[in-house]
Amino acid sequence: MRLIALLHLALLASGCAAGHRTAMPRVITAEAARDRSLIELRLEHFAINNRGRDDPAGAVDEARRTFARYLAAEAKWASVVIEAKDLAAGPVEGHVPVGVRVTATVDQTYDPTFVLEALAPLTYLLVTPAIGDAVVRIDARLKLPTETQAGEEFYVSVTAPYSQFDYGWFDTREVDQAFRRAWDVAMRRISREIVERIDHAPLGPLLSAADRARAERRRIPARPASLMANEDGPFAVAWTSSVASASVAVGASVIGGATSAPVVGGASALAGSGAGSELRGDALLASPRALAALGPELRASLELAQSVAIEPRDLILDNEGFDIIRYPVARGDDGFLSRYLGALGGIELARYQGSANIESRTKTESSVSELVGSGGAKATGYRIAAFRPPDRTGFFFPPALGLLWEDITIASFREDIRLVTRAGRTDIPAVASDPATGQALDINEPISYALRMRSAYLGQGVGLNLVFGNEDVQLFFTAAVTANILELRYIDVQIWKSHVEGLQVEAFKSGSFRGQVGIAIQPWHLALRLSGSAERYFEFAFPQPVEFPAASRYVPEKDIFERERAFATSASLDKYDFEFSAVFLF
């Protein structure tokens, strides 16, 4: 008993096992760094919410440094400042400071399957699945020198699924790996967006001023402004061309006086050490007076310098290798027709074999529930239909709307009745015949009734898909149960030459179980599956009691064997279907 309790505690613990949520990836340079050598990135704020209890104390510092490396790898900055003392010292003279404020939030989900977990006590905790998501969301804001406050917040959220089937209650390697993947993608994406936003930010005048200042200090010619901005986009090129002529105007209108000194002063002010001006660079352009003094072209360019949206912001990473699939594998978008056909899944050719069994029970002298009648029917054939293989692991809740259409015969059982002979009397068997024709009959022939059963039902199901694989090959297993909440039942019973009919509404009198196993091979556009289903309709009521002879029994008061006349009021119907099918996937 203690062992079982321990096992269950361990099973519960498996749901609580948490990895290191701040497990950091190695920095990988995504592309050649671009030149932003006048911009000093200042990581003013970096926090991680909802850290795991297993994370080391220095996890945030490590994450901060890792993030700085991602920023540095994304572009060639003047510097990326992360240390507190450097931040307190202010930006280096001649650099255009851009503040970066980051808040990361980590989360981990655990999705129980309720099926695999049940195996844990049976396997001494060998099978203890840990299936879920590692989620890293990074919210960031930029503090431009041209703004008095940090700009709008932008984010990226990355979900990395993980799955593990053995010893998941203490082994968190898969979870850690998922967090590394999520952090890697999140940091890379947010770093890239920071670069894009800075490239599109209205920093042209300041960059020009800083570049001129640097050039003057070095006594070398200033570079054309157009080279300082993002050379990738047409907007950036047009923007910088307007700034080239406007930068002087900025300095002249705000600071006044000579055209050269104010520019230098502006740049100095940005660095926080410029003499002759109390205004910082951000105040220069934030000032309404300054903006009003700008030429219309430059003002328009500043207003157009809006945020850059990198979509999608909510990313779900694909599996690494052959693993449990919890999110659909992303497919190429080839247009409307492809999407339409993709929604259908594919065309399935199935060979099916079905059977239906019916039975009727009733209370008799010898039993409280005696089987008195049964019947069966079989069907085989081929079927063509659309079919879409399951594309992710998880529960699903399919509604059930259907129609039962079953014609079946139910019959009693054949049984010969023994004759009891005693001395002093004569027991004489009866010979049965048809009074109309005089032809002999078999009195023990089973009684049969032709039934026409119909049911229109509405129900609700719950199912579980288990999908394993990679983007090319998926193995899928499905189990689903459905309860028919409401049914409209019709039954026609043929009793010899007459028919009796009944119509009634029933609730929760039927249900089904379905299962399938299959494989989908996407490059071949092929799927194979084996499926089966079982449906049960309880107590399909007859319009009137139907007679069946019960099993023979000895009747002491008559001193004979006799089959009691039993009257059944309903029958239960079971349907089984099995299919093997090949699917051409669109």
Q: Which residues bind another protein (CB under 8 A)?
A: 417, 419, 424-435, 438, 441, 443-444, 447, 495-496, 498, 545-547, 549, 558, 560, 562-565, 567
CA 73 to chain centre: 32
Q: Please, what is the minimum distance in Å from the beta carbon of residue 369 to another protein? A: 21
Kindly tell me which of 188 and 563 has the beta carbon lying closer to another protein.
563
518: which residues sit within 8 A by CB, 6+ positions away? 389, 475, 476, 527, 528, 529, 530, 531
3-class DSSP state of 23: coil
The continuous run of DSSP H or E covering 110 comes out as: strand 96-110
292: which residues sit within 8 A by CB, 6+ positions away? none
Q: Please, what is the minimum distance in Å from the beta carbon of residue 377 to another protein? A: 22
Q: Please, what is the minimum distance in Å from the beta carbon of residue 544 to another protein? A: 8
Q: Please, what is the minimum distance in Å from the beta carbon of residue 443 to another protein? A: 6
The one-letter amino acid at 400: A
Q: How does DSSP classify residue 315?
A: E
The continuous run of DSSP H or E covering 267 comes out as: helix 261-271
Kindly tell me which of 449 and 540 has the beta carbon lying closer to another protein.
449
Q: Please, what is the minimum distance in Å from the beta carbon of residue 554 to another protein? A: 13
Q: Tokens 């699945």 correspond to what residue?
A: 129
Q: Tokens 């002063």 correspond to what residue?
A: 265
Kindly tell me which of 62 and 415 has the beta carbon lying closer to another protein.
415
The continuous run of DSSP H or E covering 209 comes out as: helix 204-218
Kindly tell me which of 231 and 365 has the beta carbon lying closer to another protein.
365
Q: How does DSSP classify residue 6?
A: H
Q: Please, what is the minimum distance in Å from the beta carbon of residue 548 to another protein? A: 8
Kindly tell me which of 53 and 422 has the beta carbon lying closer to another protein.
422
Kindly tell me which of 31 and 434 has the beta carbon lying closer to another protein.
434
Kindly tell me which of 320 and 562 has the beta carbon lying closer to another protein.
562
Phi, psi of 164 (to 5 degrees): -150, 140
Q: Please, what is the minimum distance in Å from the beta carbon of residue 455 to another protein? A: 24
Distance in angstroms (rounded) separating the CA atoms of residues 25 and 67 = 10
Q: Please, what is the minimum distance in Å from the beta carbon of residue 489 to another protein? A: 21
List the one residue out of 376, 357, 361, 416 whose CA is nearest residue 566.
Answer: 361
Q: Tokens 């980051």 correspond to what residue?
A: 102
List the one residue out of 263, 319, 359, 576 whose CA is nearest residue 472.
Answer: 319
Q: Please, what is the minimum distance in Å from the beta carbon of residue 556 to another protein? A: 13
- Residue 539 and residue 362 in contact, taking contact as beta carbons nearer than 8 Å: no
3-class DSSP state of 579: strand
Q: Please, what is the minimum distance in Å from the beta carbon of residue 374 to another protein? A: 16
**Burial bucket for residue 54 (CB in 10 Å: 0-12, 13-18, 19+):** middle
Q: Please, what is the minimum distance in Å from the beta carbon of residue 578 to another protein? A: 36
Kindly tell me which of 333 and 416 has the beta carbon lying closer to another protein.
416
3-class DSSP state of 66: helix
Distance in angstroms (rounded) separating the CA atoms of residues 89 and 95 = 13
Kindly tell me which of 85 and 425 has the beta carbon lying closer to another protein.
425
Rg (CA), the chain: 40
Distance in angstroms (rounded) separating the CA atoms of residues 92 and 97 = 8
Q: Please, what is the minimum distance in Å from the beta carbon of residue 356 to another protein? A: 24
Kindly tell me which of 522 and 569 has the beta carbon lying closer to another protein.
569
Kindly tell me which of 350 and 571 has the beta carbon lying closer to another protein.
571
399: which residues sit within 8 A by CB, 6+ positions away? 458, 459, 460, 461
Kindly tell me which of 206 and 546 has the beta carbon lying closer to another protein.
546
Distance in angstroms (rounded) separating the CA atoms of residues 341 and 490 = 38
